[in-house]
Homo-oligomer: A and B are copies of this chain.
Amino acid sequence: MPGAQLSLRGIYAPVPTAFGDDETLHLDELAQNVRRWNEEPLAGYVVGGSNGEFPLLTREERLEVMRVVAGERSPGRTVIGGASMESTGAAAEMAVAVAEAGADAVIVVTPWYYKGRMTAAALVAHYARVADASPVPVLVYNMPAHTGVDIPIAAVAELSEHPNIAGIKESLPDAVKIGRMIRQCRSGFQVLAGSAGSFLPALAVGAVGGILALANIAARPLDRLMVAFTSGDLAAARTAQLDLIELNALVTERYSIAGLKAAMDMLGYYGGPVRQPLLGVSSAEREEIRGALAQVGLTS
């Protein structure tokens, strides 16, 4: 039962995809980024998630990015590969391809286009078929802000019994839902938080870690938060959480991927442009981001 054995404990960076000004993949710059992230206190990487602009990449591009990250990650780090596709059959096939490209686990967002039809039954059937086909453990990925679909707790509980489903990334900052999932799912089912802004609340109710956009630029303060929490120093954990909360709102929620990439550029990573239809940040927005980074000591 591979799903039950993979530990997801810790902080994962959902890595952005590096593009040039002509929107082509810049794989060397991506590899460089991974080598730098290897120096940071991270449990691993997520490739081909929302921050990776997966809906804007072709299938082949997604696999290329996957191979680069899997090839560059340092030993012991887990790579979770995005296998999200609207069609269930395509997602099952993608899970196989992503695993072959080096992923230790795959993560699959709820189907999103036919949101009105994504009943609990449809979601359970989708994930079960993907998990049956996947050679590596599967994570459910709930992301209502992008999908307009919010997988019900009961569906997650049912899926938690599948031997090849290891856990869920719950992107809602809703600790009640996280708590209820932990309560209703099989023991050992792993919940990962999806936002640095609610990382401590999620840990408090039992999340084992997080896939956090902010981990791309602030792995150390996030690690300090998690270490403080684990060691029972709740006051330090709260301070760390509140110190990061505005930066997270600014960089990842307000300006989204373009903002995250701008911050990466300021911190010595390759951020670069986003792919259209996404638009870049203005220079005023860039200055606001620079100020927020300075305020939490990420830049001098």
* Chain A residues close to B by CB (< 8 Å): 23, 50, 55-58, 86-90, 111-119, 121-123, 125-126, 129, 145-148, 173-176, 179-180, 182-183, 195, 197-198, 200-202, 204-206, 229, 232, 234, 237-238, 241-242, 245-246, 249, 256-258, 275-279
Contacts of A115 in B (CB 8 A): 145-146, 148
Rounded to whole angstroms, the CA-CA distance of A117 and B119 in the bound complex is: 23
Nearest chain B CB to A8's CB is how many angstroms away?
A: 18
Choose among B88, B206, B242, B277 the residue that contacts A114 (Cβ–Cβ < 8 A). B277
Instruction: Supply 21 A–B pairs (Cβ within 8 Å), ascending by A.
Output: A50-B113, A55-B87, A111-B277, A114-B277, A115-B145, A115-B146, A116-B146, A116-B256, A117-B279, A125-B276, A125-B279, A129-B276, A173-B175, A176-B245, A179-B242, A180-B249, A183-B245, A204-B241, A205-B242, A206-B242, A229-B234
Nearest chain B CB to A94's CB is how many angstroms away?
A: 12
- Minimum CB distance partner of A110 in chain B: B277
B205–A200 CB distance below 8 A:
yes
Rounded to whole angstroms, the CA-CA distance of A258 and B242 in the bound complex is: 38
Nearest chain B CB to A185's CB is how many angstroms away?
A: 12
A238–B114 CB distance below 8 A:
no
Rounded to whole angstroms, the CA-CA distance of A278 and B111 in the bound complex is: 10
Contacts of A206 in B (CB 8 A): 238, 242
Contacts of A245 in B (CB 8 A): 176, 179-180, 183
B55–A276 CB distance below 8 A:
no
Contacts of A205 in B (CB 8 A): 200-201, 238, 241-242
A176–B195 CB distance below 8 A:
yes
User: Known interface pairs A113-B112, A146-B115. Does A277 touch B201 (Cβ–Cβ under 8 Å)?
Assistant: no
Contacts of A182 in B (CB 8 A): 242
Rounded to whole angstroms, the CA-CA distance of A202 and B87 in the bound complex is: 33
Contacts of A121 in B (CB 8 A): 279
A113–B146 CB distance below 8 A:
yes
- Minimum CB distance partner of A143 in chain B: B113
Contacts of A89 in B (CB 8 A): 23, 275-276
Choose among B176, B241, B276 the residue that contacts A173 (Cβ–Cβ < 8 A). B176
Rounded to whole angstroms, the CA-CA distance of A145 and B111 in the bound complex is: 14
B200–A278 CB distance below 8 A:
no
B197–A176 CB distance below 8 A:
yes
- Minimum CB distance partner of A202 in chain B: B201
B114–A256 CB distance below 8 A:
yes
- Minimum CB distance partner of A172 in chain B: B174
- Minimum CB distance partner of A182 in chain B: B242
- Minimum CB distance partner of A239 in chain B: B206
